[in-house]
Chain A
């Protein structure tokens, strides 16, 4: 049975006990999926699954009262957000039903756009798209083109260590049990650049920011949202000026609040409408966390996130050595 049908069956089975199940459905064009909210068996027809199922649906979990019974379909990376939310007691385990599946990866739509642009095709004018095996075929403006999926996977998928959800109540399909390496080579490469170059890079990137806070609101773990310090006047810590300083200040706050919590789903970066590579900031933090605490967020529901715990003697932090 195709995985999608198995998924529908699994959801149908659990639906009676749930208020809603969040999955993906067809979006506004052939290159977009969009979150769908399933409350009846009839809604199951809306479900789709594939390389366009980019959104991390775990971000909706904290938008419901903790008492609601929510089902959520997760990719491997999304499942880590669920675990982290459980670790922080932001959701109730008994009120969340997790539907996992073996995730081959999702595309980076920016890469799709650029790769097809190089073939003289506009992804924004797509009429048909298909993902068969290792090829992506697109029809746009009467022209058809094909590209290897290898060129289109999101960066996070190329380094993915968790194709199969790390937590699930219903898992459909065969586990992939694949694991790529992730030694934070991108962060290391960036860090190797001279300070002036790094500064200039962020100056240019952040100057594009429109302060829409899509990065914050797409993040499954950025849970202050309505009360975010970025927009409050009491306290008034971040000015409403839209200079690079203020924008970068917000990103620093955002990244700091996610240190040791960020599960690297990359939604912040994907949600950014002007293509600012802000996941890099969070990966820098995670690299440090991994080195210091040998910890990756959102893997073990029972683990204590290192920055939410206290040890008198940290193994790798020399606190009293001077």
Chain B
């Protein structure tokens, strides 16, 4: 299918059409923060900057019910209690509109873990299948953007279904996946002129050129492992960290969770909620032992997982999309770029294993 054109004035018409029978999530401003919310008549999407919260909730909700359970007493024998459990997969048809390439690409990091040859997480997989991404290509980087250093670009279509590129008076609209094509069949979209296509091509090149110079993060995989026992290094780079979870919860690629039960009387639910490796409780064992007892150990795991363990396990890809939210929104400006670069540049103190 050839590319389409969406005039700025037709944006709400297209959003309205997309919202027929679907949930459409768009970035909106709320008290200064830009977050994804369901689109409704009158909703004004904020398309001028990256949203503060990524659209992670669309496919990976902060709370997901895994199953319901109920106990029932036997009327004949009250000491006998039966247990019933019911799987609760819930995957509403969704379009995420106006995210950035990094936002959509984040889920490709999930995919390699949640839907593989040996394991399929049905809650994730079903939502993934029912969610489409209409992504807005970036034009100018923010000071925290580094997607080009982690194998991506400000116009990367990986993980997206439709890509919008700003052109005069509107956007060039391209289907970048099979399922994205269906979204282009809308009256609000006109066939793109050759001029618009040329403009979009130039805009993409300009966006890539506007990025700060890329640095090669691949050598970090080995360097971070080499520094595993160099706790002096980790103490230094984690000194200002306050151990909150903002970096991980705002990260489009952080996928860790916990599972807890909620019971009320004879029934309840087992839920999965976002969890963060920056928390002391994350690895705390019932015995009181904690393999990651300090913030230095935990920051090491966050950086290590993204730039070393994950690329090692999945043969290449870095578990970071370079969106920069963990830097920009960190209360104390912990900068993962700096940590990775220091890990690659600084000599490793030789610390033997005890």
Binding site for B on A (CB under 8 A): 27-30, 32-37, 55, 59-60, 110, 113-114, 122, 124-126, 141, 204-205, 208, 210-214, 216-218, 225-227, 231-233, 239-243, 267, 270-271, 273-277
Assess whether B327 is interfacial by the CB under 8 Å rule: yes
> Which residue of A35, A59, A208, A270 is within 8 Å of B33 (Cβ)?
A208
- Kindly supply a per-residue 1/0 record for chain B positions 114-154, scoring 1 wherever the CB is within 8 Å of any chain A CB and 0 otherwise: 00000000000000000000000000111110000000000
Bound Cα distance A282, B281 (Å): 26
Contact, CB under 8 Å: A34 / B53: no
Binding site for A on B (CB under 8 A): 30-33, 35, 48-50, 52-53, 62-63, 140-144, 236, 239-240, 242-246, 248-250, 258, 260, 262, 271, 273-274, 276, 279-281, 325, 327-329, 331-333, 335, 337-338
Bound Cα distance A216, B244 (Å): 8
Q: Which residue of B lies closest to A268 (CB)?
A: B331
> Which residue of A124, A211, A225 is within 8 Å of B142 (Cβ)?
A124
Contact, CB under 8 Å: A110 / B271: no
Shortest CB-to-CB span from A311 to chain B, Å, is 36
Bound Cα distance A63, B271 (Å): 32
Bound Cα distance A105, B345 (Å): 37
Contact, CB under 8 Å: A55 / B244: no
Shortest CB-to-CB span from B98 to chain A, Å, is 16
Known: A110-B32, A214-B244. 9 other contacts (CB 8 A): A211-B274, A212-B246, A212-B248, A218-B242, A218-B244, A267-B331, A271-B242, A274-B52, A275-B52
B interface: dominant SS = loop
Bound Cα distance A267, B35 (Å): 21
Contact, CB under 8 Å: A273 / B52: yes
Bound Cα distance A204, B242 (Å): 27
**Which of B32, B35, B63, B239: most chain A Cβ within 10 A?**
B32
Given A212-B249, A267-B331: A37 and B31 within 8 A (CB)?
no
Shortest CB-to-CB span from B47 to chain A, Å, is 13
> Would you list 28 pairs from A and B whose C-beta atoms are within 8 A, ordered by A residue?
A28-B335, A28-B337, A34-B333, A35-B239, A35-B240, A36-B240, A110-B32, A208-B30, A208-B31, A208-B53, A212-B245, A212-B248, A212-B250, A217-B242, A218-B244, A218-B331, A225-B280, A226-B243, A226-B279, A226-B281, A232-B281, A241-B273, A267-B331, A273-B52, A273-B246, A275-B31, A275-B32, A276-B31
Contact, CB under 8 Å: B62 / A242: yes
Q: Count A-B pairs with CB separation below 8 Å.
A: 141
Bound Cα distance A271, B53 (Å): 14
Q: Which residue of A lies closest to B334 (CB)?
A: A34
Contact, CB under 8 Å: A28 / B143: yes
Q: Which residue of B lies closest to A243 (CB)?
A: B63
Shortest CB-to-CB span from B282 to chain A, Å, is 9
Bound Cα distance A124, B325 (Å): 11
Bound Cα distance A114, B32 (Å): 8
Which chain B residues lie closer than 8 Å to A124 at the CB level? Answer: 49-50, 142-144, 328
> Which residue of B141, B142, B280, B333 is within 8 Å of A27 (Cβ)?
B333
Which chain A residues lie closer than 8 Å to B49 at the CB level? Answer: 122, 124
Q: Which residue of B lies closest to A227 (CB)?
A: B280
Given A35-B332, A216-B244, A241-B262: A208 and B327 within 8 A (CB)?
no
Contact, CB under 8 Å: B331 / A270: yes
Bound Cα distance A107, B209 (Å): 32
Which chain A residues lie closer than 8 Å to B338 at the CB level? Answer: 28
Bound Cα distance A98, B329 (Å): 28
Contact, CB under 8 Å: B140 / A231: no
Which chain B residues lie closer than 8 Å to A239 at the CB level? Answer: 260, 262
Which chain A residues lie closer than 8 Å to B245 at the CB level? Answer: 210-214
Contact, CB under 8 Å: A125 / B244: no
Given A212-B250, A240-B273: A271 and B50 within 8 A (CB)?
no
Bound Cα distance A32, B142 (Å): 13
Q: Which residue of B lies closest to A274 (CB)?
A: B33
Which chain B residues lie closer than 8 Å to A114 at the CB level? Answer: 32
Which chain B residues lie closer than 8 Å to A211 at the CB level? Answer: 62, 245, 249, 274
Contact, CB under 8 Å: A210 / B244: no
Given A122-B48, A211-B62, A212-B250: A271 and B244 within 8 A (CB)?
yes
Shortest CB-to-CB span from B33 to chain A, Å, is 4
